[in-house]
Structure 1
Amino acid sequence: MLNDAQEWMKDTAQSCSTVAVLVAKVVFAAAYTIPSGTDKRGLPIFLSSPLFLFFTIMDVVALASSLASVVMLLFILSSPFEMQDFHKSLPRKLSVGFALLFFSLITTMLEFSATMFLTIRLQKDKWTSTLVYTAAFFPVAVFGLFQFPFMVAAKSVCMETKKASEGASE
């Protein structure tokens, strides 16, 4: 059972860290690809817009949370995977890494929405606004919906490992 748990934890951490690195790459590139470009002086065209400030903040938060997620997941991959690590240390690191990854995806979608609002200038009470909101948050909702069973499985694997180690120590 310990070998299965080790393999599952490594595979999960590798998959999640790959996604977190991809998110970091996208938001890093977005920081240098300013929505609608720059003026003659090299300043962003929408510099005075509150949406541009929101875009910038979401970009920084997405980058920071995705890189923090990578760090947490790398802690898992470099762990010795001892039995006692499965009680608190590894599940906690996986939960924090996954939460940071999910948060980085949410902030990336918010960044995308801000970019859309800046570039196509959506109007209130129009169907286009609803379409952009749906397009921005649909991937996050799907990701959360399908990853909820993953979190339940992670908790049950850790509980089974804990029970097995308690049974072995008796």
Structure 2
Amino acid sequence: MFEVFSISSLGALCFSLTAVVMFLAILTSRHHAIDFGRSLPTKLLIGLTALFISIASVLVSFCGGHFFILKNVLNDAKVAEYVVAVIPMLVFAIAQFPLYFKLILATIKKVPEHGFMVTIGGEDSKGRGISKFENYYY
């Protein structure tokens, strides 16, 4: 159980740092319109995935350390303690999974470009009205 504790605590550390770095990358990004199509949703998806894995690793680390320290003490209460320890993770997962699945769909699906027509009007040298049509995509 000590190996489970040490490996899961190392995983929790690595994934929590990854989540923090990805969320900081979102905060310090340029916020140009093109970034909202792929870059920012991908960073948010990586950050949320790392956060989910980090929370699960912390839970496994807690259970492994608790089991390692209290080997034969409170045998009947261990299951109840582990169930209580899972509750915060379940609440976080239920709150964040809709956003998580929408981000997955947003990164997989291509968003269509919106086009609109710009009309530039005026007069030529003889006083006749002219108009020019151009398509701009943003």
**TM-score (norm. length: structure 1):** 0.59
1:77 has 2:22 as partner: no
For residues 91-150 of structure 1, what are the alpha-carbon distances to aligned partners after superposition, in whole Å with 9 as ceiling and x for unaligned? 000000011011101100111111111122257xx5323212202212111110111233
1:93 has 2:43 as partner: yes
- The whole-number CA distance in structure 1 between the counterparts of 2:19 and 2:100 is 16
**Length, aligned pairs only:** 114
Distance 1:121 1:90, change over 3 A: same
The structure 1 segments of at least 4 consecutive aligned residues displaced by more than 6 Å after TM superposition are: 155-158
The CA RMSD over aligned residues, in Å, is 2.4
Q: Percent identity?
A: 32
Correspondence for 2:95 among 134, 139, 146: 146
**In the alignment, which residue of structure 2 is the partner of 1:107?**
57
Higher helix share: 1
Task: Give the gaps of 5 or more residues in structure 1.
Answer: 1-50
Alignment of 1:1-170 (within 5 A): 51-122=1-72, 127-152=76-101, 162=111, 166-168=113-115, 169=137
**TM-score (norm. length: structure 2):** 0.71
1:110 is paired with a residue whose SS is helix
Instruction: Please tell me whether the aligned partners of residues 122 and 129 of structure 1 are also in contact (alpha carbons under 8 angstroms).
Output: no
Task: Give the gaps of 5 or more residues in structure 2.
Answer: 116-136
- The whole-number CA distance in structure 2 between the counterparts of 1:99 and 1:122 is 35
Instruction: Please tell me whether the aligned partners of residues 19 and 47 of structure 2 are also in contact (alpha carbons under 8 angstroms).
Output: yes
Distance 1:130 1:121, change over 3 A: same
- The whole-number CA distance in structure 2 between the counterparts of 1:144 and 1:122 is 32
Larger radius of gyration: 2
- The whole-number CA distance in structure 1 between the counterparts of 2:78 and 2:47 is 32
Deviates more, 1:106-115 or 1:144-153: 144-153
